[in-house]
A and B are shown apart, each in its own frame.
Chain A
Amino acid sequence: MNTPLLSVRDLHVNFGTSEGDVQAVRGVSFDIDRGETLAIVGESGSGKSVTASAIMRLNFGADIRVSGSALFEGKDILSMGEEEVRKMRGSDVAMIFQDPLTALNPFYTVGNQISEAYTIHHPGTSKKELRALALDAIEKVGIPEPVKRIKQYPHEFSGGMRQRIVIAMALINQPKLLIADEPTTALDVTVQAQILELIGVMQEENGTAVILITHDLGVVAEVTERVLVMYAGRLVEKASVIDAFASPTHPYTRGLLNSVKSLDSDRHSRLEPIPGIPPSLIDLPTGCPFHSRCRYAASLNGRCSTEVPELKAVGNSWSACHLPVDLLAAPIKESL
């Protein structure tokens, strides 16, 4: 049978604040298969991290409402009991955070924290066994001198090394799904590549599926197979990496691609930033959330500002835009 590992349907996340409801995620649906790598990209505040946290049930706060479903191997994470979710966290689904400098507990040794990740889900493991496991885990992620390093505290490691430790911790229970929330954003460029490679290697070894959340299109191109582009809490484009980069269908995706420089672009060409700022998630515009920044919106006689576009198939991709399919599929001309 071919059911996806994780199947998210119509996910909504709202935060109640004193100024009003923040609609962080509005009806996101996607699937991920075993061993697959999926990227979620978007600007800050597009809802990508909130989506990831919702899958782990890590959204806390007095006034947070999550609706929809997230079927993991057929069981809905969003309606699980607290204890069931706890057992899932770290064993079936693991997570890596953005800032490795603050992600480790400063009061305990690295070895303690790695073996803790194992022993939570395998109580009664002997100390000797735990030590061997931690040594093995730390060696696998490429940290030299594991015997010495295991006794050290997080602050004695560099940022890249700490992210390796977080990865070692996340993978020690061989999870089926790894959610990496901007795992390389806080790191040096040279270290970024190493960490991505490490995630790739570990993924292959364990057959882990990876959801990679990032705003770095370079990272997406390098490691993932499929991309979800989010904007103002909605999916605006779903495509394979090749399609997304070669023939982006949504004007926002195009905008994102035009605002980064690639090696083969003309060195005298200018970067084209997307004008304006993302809309407030409290007071969302009617219609397509991107319409006020979209250069094509004017050509559709106001339809973009009144009617919310649904995801529709455009060639091999899915795009949430009112522009006619043939126009979306073909590169959109400036003259439009």
Chain B
Amino acid sequence: MFYFIARRSFFAVILLFVVSIFTFWIFSALPADPAALTCGKNCRPEVIEANRIRLGYDKPFIEQYGSYMKGIFVGRTYGEDESGVHCAAPSLGYSYDRHECVSSLVAKTLPVTASIAFGAFVLWMVFGIALGTLAALRRGKWPDHFATVFSVIGISFPSFFLGLLSVLFFVIWTKILPFPNYVGITENPFEWFTALILPWSVLALLSASTYIRLTRNGILEVMNEEFVRLGIAKGLPRKKLIVKYVLRAALTPIATIAGIDLAFLLGGAIVTESVFNLPGLGKLTIAAVVNSDLPILVATTLISALFIVVANAFVDIMYGFLDPRVRTK
């Protein structure tokens, strides 16, 4: 098992390395000149050149990549005179547009996105699996029909529509909730909660649909397995049969998908954050696209990639614990 974890982690690191080179290369291959983007339309060429040297864009690609990687581990100073800016490790670049280190921008926005992602994740997992299980066990009866209708709605409605609709209903018409205004959980947990309940619900509603289907189909499939029949033939009580035999086998593969979905969401819930005006990673990314703020885009892309790679490795390792058949291979 130790060997398995070590090997899997090693490959994750290699993969991250490759992904970072590739991401960095794509952004450096763009026709946009990152130095020219550092100052407005009517910029003097001397300023552009000065900024180019200050940000290191004059160096060859490999050197640029090298100092970027080094910056992540030890921090980096842009420029040499007293006007130079120091970004502490992990430095992810400097946004000229915002006059701020990218890492501190990420540090501000990531907690927001993480709050959204984890809350929504818990909601959709609990809700999706519960409803999926109920639908499978009451197949063809009303819980099953309800789950089907529910997941069709969840899959067919776009999140911005559902998001706006929920704001209209809960915030503007009934005034049950205040307008979502993000506050850190340490500052005011209650406000944090009321600001996030709508985005959580909308995201959960959308993803739960998939998990309802996955759970329902998984359970129905496992129910036809021979070992479940043997479980019945042994005289297992129904409850024990469902938990120990059916759910265990049906939910294990779902863990894989769930890990990746969560990682994906951690990279920024772009639409949801925009609809509810939440200052998360997704909103930061969108703003960076609009302003051609390349350092931020490089950083957010790398962060998303990091989450996906780490989640993949984590899920694989978890799978080793969940499924004995994987462990010994």
- Chain A residues close to B by CB (< 8 Å): 56, 58, 62, 86-91, 94-95, 97, 99, 102-108, 116-117, 120-121, 153, 155-156, 166, 169
Contacts and interface: CB of A to CB of B under 8 A. Distances in A.
Interface in B201-258: 225-227, 229-238, 244-245, 248-249, 252
B328 interface: yes
A22 B279 CA distance: 62
B323 interface: yes
B230 A121 contact: no
6 contacts: A97-B230, A106-B325, A107-B252, A108-B244, A117-B234, A120-B234
In the complex, the 6 A-B pairs of residues with the closest C-beta atoms, listed nearest first: A90-B235, A89-B235, A102-B226, A90-B234, A153-B324, A95-B233
B140 interface: yes
Contacts of B237: 86, 120
A80 to B, nearest CB: 13
A201 B2 CA distance: 43
B234 A116 contact: yes
Contacts of B225: 102
B235 A86 contact: yes
Contacts of A107: 248-249, 252, 323-324
Contacts of B249: 105-107
A137 to B, nearest CB: 13
A90 B140 CA distance: 30
A105 B245 contact: yes
A104 B244 CA distance: 12
Interface of B: 140, 225-227, 229-238, 244-245, 248-249, 252, 323-325, 328
A94 B227 CA distance: 14
A106 B235 contact: no
Nearest to B324: A153
Given A88-B235, A117-B234, A58 B227 contact: no
Nearest to B252: A107
For chain B, what secondary structure do more than half of its interface residues adopt (helix, strand, loop), or is it mixed? helix
B79 to A, nearest CB: 59
A156 B328 CA distance: 9
Nearest to A121: B235
A103 B226 contact: yes
A56 B230 CA distance: 11
Nearest to A98: B226
Contacts of B234: 89-90, 94, 116-117, 120, 169
Given A105-B245, A120-B237, A97 B232 contact: no
Contacts of B233: 56, 58, 89-90, 94-95, 97
Contacts of A105: 227, 230-231, 244-245, 248-249
Contacts of B245: 105
Given A102-B225, A103-B226, A107-B248, A87 B235 contact: yes
A82 to B, nearest CB: 8
Given A102-B225, A106-B227, A89 B325 contact: no
A117 B245 CA distance: 13
A120 B140 CA distance: 30
Given A97-B233, A106-B323, 9 more contacts: A58-B233, A89-B234, A94-B234, A102-B227, A105-B227, A107-B248, A107-B252, A155-B324, A155-B325
A104 B227 contact: yes
Given A103-B230, A153-B324, A62 B140 contact: yes
Nearest to A107: B248
Contacts of A91: 235
A97 B229 contact: yes
A105 B232 CA distance: 12
Contacts of A99: 226
A155 B225 CA distance: 15
Contact of B229 (A58, A120, A169): A58
Contacts of B252: 107
Contacts of A116: 234, 236
Contacts of B232: 58, 89
A103 B234 CA distance: 11
Contacts of B323: 106-107
A117 to B, nearest CB: 5
A63 to B, nearest CB: 11
Contacts of B324: 106-107, 153, 155
B227 A120 contact: no
A335 B227 CA distance: 51
Nearest to A105: B227
A55 to B, nearest CB: 11
Contacts of A108: 244
A117 B235 CA distance: 8
A65 to B, nearest CB: 17
Nearest to B240: A120
A103 B227 contact: yes
Nearest to B248: A107
B235 A153 contact: no
Nearest to B226: A102
Contacts of A120: 234-237
Nearest to A91: B235
